[in-house]
Amino acid sequence: MLERAIPEWLRHPPEGVGRTPTARAFAALSGVEALIRGMLLSVMPLALYAQLGDAGMVSAIYLAVGITSLTFGLLVPWINRLVPRRWLYTLGATLYVLGCGFGTLGGPFMLPALLFCTLATVTCFVCLNAYVLDYIAKVELGRTETLRMFYSAFAWTAGPVSGVVLWQLWAPAPFLLGGVFALLLIAVFWWLRLGNGKLIARARAPAPNPLAFLGRFAAQPRLIAGWMFAVLRSCGWWVYIVYLPIYAIEAGLPESLGGSVVSTTNALLFATPLILRWVQRTSVRRAVRTGFLVAGAGFLLAGVLPVPGAVVASLVLSSCCLILLDVAGGLPFLMAVKPSERTEMAAVYSSFRDVSGILTPGMGALILLVAPVQGLFVAAGVGLLAMFVVAGQLHPMLGVAADLRHRTRAQARSFLPLRRGTDG
């Protein structure tokens, strides 16, 4: 009776028994983790600014933490050789608990709070993506990514606003709640019994140093392209979330406008199943190119329009296509990863967050020396359009549903003899 009361997607037997984790299991983990990150997303910079009183210092801290997180993320595969993956994921979730604990103390403890939460994010991200590549077939990756975003939609929509409101009422509140969510994340992870993932026997000895896999990454153009898609997509989000509110204030628009449009955009995550259906009916290549083209054009337009309302509308349109890229943009990388390099390449892929977090503020600082905030919109548009060109090299049938792919090939085979007969 108890087993029947537990949802099927939360039940997974110990290692060695037949059942394997499903897409819904990984979506559940992503949804719980999004509760932590969504709650603290808007609170962290506010708490740091309240402590330091200087926006430049806050930016410098984020830059330093970003560099630290990038380095640590690339070392995770090496750590995974010493620490089994189930314990490594648990360690990552425990870092969330520690970060939230420091956050409740406030004041100078906000710096270690930000650092621990950032390291927790990259650790859990690397491990979860390695699990996905272990257990989910390539043809199901699109559905898995969509479910992960769909299950996270509520957290990303309501979390930022709720976190700020709780922080204004009582500063430790959002961090206490985040710590509770982190403990829930650990409980759900062990309930799923994911173990250490599949074991792949290597033909060669392990790399002598933890960063040797970067050479293997650099030798695979498809992985480089997929990683670049993730970096530029993340840069677009950085510009939208960070610099749109700044533009709104400078243009005389309401201060709450930035947060309102970001919440509105995040609500579109509930539509990700419909977006996936469209991707499967067309192809990953067409979806990625459409997303980068429209998003890039929208950012460029926002950079030259003279009317603030039109600028905001153009950026909101672009953000809708960033949601499309969230659904399809990571698939070219995930579908190109070799089974023997799951953990290493998951670490490389996770670095897109830190690279974009370093690249965007750095470029922003340089551009703002010679141009207003709209100059950043132009730069983001140029970068996104460059990815539209790169995406043209993807295989036309990448990610197409199997039945449609077979039907298309059958039609092509039936057409060729007719064409030869006609030409003869």
User: pLDDT 10s per residue in the chain (424 long)?
Assistant: 434 444 443 444 444 333 577 888 899 999 999 999 988 877 887 788 778 876 567 767 877 888 898 889 888 888 888 899 999 999 999 999 999 999 999 889 999 999 999 999 999 988 998 888 888 877 777 788 888 888 898 888 888 778 878 988 999 999 999 999 999 999 999 998 887 766 443 444 454 455 667 788 888 888 899 999 999 999 998 888 778 877 877 788 876 676 677 777 888 888 888 888 888 788 888 999 999 999 999 999 999 998 888 999 999 999 999 999 988 888 888 888 877 777 778 778 878 887 888 888 778 778 878 888 889 899 999 999 999 999 988 877 675 555 555 554 544 444 444 444 444 3
Residue found under tokens 């990625």: 288
**117-129 burial by CB neighbour count: b if 16+ within 10 A, else e?**
bbbbbbbbbbbbb
C-alpha to C-alpha distance for 265 and 270, rounded to whole angstroms: 10
C-alpha to C-alpha distance for 86 and 196, rounded to whole angstroms: 5
Cβ distance 348 to 74 under 8 Å? Answer: yes
Task: Show the tokens assigned to 195.
Answer: 């173990």
- DSSP annotation of 19 reads -
Cβ distance 202 to 371 under 8 Å? Answer: no
Tell me how far apart the 2 most distant CA atoms of the chain are, in Å.
83
C-alpha to C-alpha distance for 245 and 302, rounded to whole angstroms: 14
Domains of the chain: 16-195 (1.20.1250.20), 211-412 (1.20.1250.20)
Evaluated on CA atoms 360, 361, 366, 370, the torsion sign reads: positive
Task: Show the tokens assigned to 65.
Answer: 């933490």
Distances (CA, A) of 27 to 101, 324, 339: 26, 18, 21
Cβ distance 269 to 210 under 8 Å? Answer: no
Name, in order, each residue with C-beta under 8 angstroms of 11's C-beta and a sequence gap of 6 or more: 3, 19
Query: What's the pLDDT score for residue 198?
Result: 61
Query: What's the pLDDT score for residue 197?
Result: 67
Residue type, 244: L
pTM for this model (two decimals): 0.73
C-alpha to C-alpha distance for 108 and 363, rounded to whole angstroms: 28
Query: What's the pLDDT score for residue 143?
Result: 80
Query: What's the pLDDT score for residue 401?
Result: 53
Q: Would residue 156 be called left, alpha or beta, if left means φ above 0 and alpha means ψ between -120 and 50 degrees?
A: alpha
Cβ distance 167 to 47 under 8 Å? Answer: yes
Query: What's the pLDDT score for residue 1?
Result: 40
Nearest to 225 by CA among 354, 136, 348, 376: 348
In the chain the first and final C-alpha atoms are separated, in Å, by 71
